[in-house]
Structure 1
Amino acid sequence: MTQQTPQQPGHGQSTASARPSRLARLFRHRLWDEADARRVLPEAALTRLSGRVTQSEQRHGGEIRLCVEASLPLSYLWRHAPARERAVTLFGKLRVWDTEHNNGVLIYLLLAEHAIEIVADRGLNLRVSAAQWHTVIEGLRSYLQGGQFEQGLMEAIRAVEGLLAEHFPPTAAPPRNELPDAVVVL
């Protein structure tokens, strides 16, 4: 299967706020590292999130990946690249696009900006409107603003699960787990 560039749900809608200056953004990102990500989402939380992904995938024919990144790599900061660009890159690197029915979804959380991005492969994205993706993103704002990262990710899984169940209901065949359910922490 050849890799295809995923559609951009919500036409770039995200929880990121107005763009700060390059220096301010660089400073904020340098304050966050993987240890901070593991402090905000300790091993027990990561286990619960992974379990929730596994449970969710029993209810539909899609695949969900979670990726939590403390801060953007320096190359992204230097170019003032948005979190969305990084999420699309990770969608490819984590092979979320590589599912039989093109229905993989990446839920990406960037801690330094409290931004969440959802990147869906074309099989699902062609069936979900920009307004629906916007509703999912808006539902997460209060969790992120309140520092409730685990709860926000649980809500994101629930919302994406609903969309996948609607458009890719489970089949009679046992579900195939095409992608790992473990949360990727960078």
Structure 2
Amino acid sequence: MRWLRHLFAGDPVARHFPPATLDAIQRAIAAGERGHRGEVCFAVEGALPWRLVLSRLSVRERAAEVFAHLRVWDTRENTGVLIYVLLAEHAIEIVADRGIAARIGDAEWQALCACIREHFAAGAFEAGAIAAVERANVLLAAQFPAEPDDNPDELPDRPVVL
């Protein structure tokens, strides 16, 4: 059944994440990162490529691949976090770099995923994405507050459409 969801997914990214929504997410990421030393990345994928569906790659494994591909790990303090959305499977994964994982537990990230799911189930994709970004920013600001003279923006803020 999984392959059917990917085969007939169409282009859900364009429907649920139009340019104006991507702009709003980008602004939320940029605004939040001014308050902490972390780096938030948001990636959305409509459906997996066939080779990945056939290889039975899990959503978690795909999120880890995207984390590596986007170089979210490549920050000075290992404080990158990826919010990954796979629309064909209604799946959300959070991948946090080791600097974050040492301070913020899985329960916090699972609560963030639940928040997104609630919004998405109601058809509020922009609101859900922004709520997730804002919640991630709050978690990061509590553990990695910004330093006034040293807070570089190490990764692009623009959401990535895969």
Kept after mapping to 1: 8 A contact 2:16/2:125: yes
Kept after mapping to 1: 8 A contact 2:59/2:91: yes
Alignment-derived partner of residue 178 in structure 1: 154
C-alpha distance in structure 2 between counterparts of 1:82 and 1:148, whole Å: 25
Alignment-derived partner of residue 101 in structure 1: 77
Residues 31-79 of structure 1: CA distance to partner in whole angstroms, max 9, x if unpaired?
A: 224x431221111111111111111110111001110100012122112
Task: Structure 1 unaligned segments of length 5 or more: list them.
Answer: 1-23
Q: 1:174 Cα deviation (Å)?
A: 4.7
C-alpha distance in structure 2 between counterparts of 1:153 and 1:163, whole Å: 15
Alignment-derived partner of residue 58 in structure 1: 34
Alignment-derived partner of residue 74 in structure 1: 50
Compare 87-96 and 38-47 and name the one that shifted more: 38-47
Alignment-derived partner of residue 32 in structure 1: 9
Alignment-derived partner of residue 94 in structure 2: 118
SS at match of 2:92: strand
Letter aligned with residue 6 of structure 2: H
C-alpha distance in structure 2 between counterparts of 1:37 and 1:141, whole Å: 16
C-alpha distance in structure 2 between counterparts of 1:49 and 1:82, whole Å: 26
Please provide the CA RMSD for this pair. 1.3
Letter aligned with residue 15 of structure 2: R
Tell me the TM-score normalized by structure 1. 0.83
Letter aligned with residue 50 of structure 1: Q
Tell me the TM-score normalized by structure 2. 0.94
Alignment-derived partner of residue 164 in structure 1: 140
C-alpha distance in structure 2 between counterparts of 1:130 and 1:106, whole Å: 14
Compare 72-81 and 37-46 and name the one that shifted more: 72-81
Structure 1 position 146 matched with structure 2 position 122: yes
C-alpha distance in structure 2 between counterparts of 1:64 and 1:157, whole Å: 7
Letter aligned with residue 5 of structure 2: R
Kept after mapping to 1: 8 A contact 2:42/2:82: yes
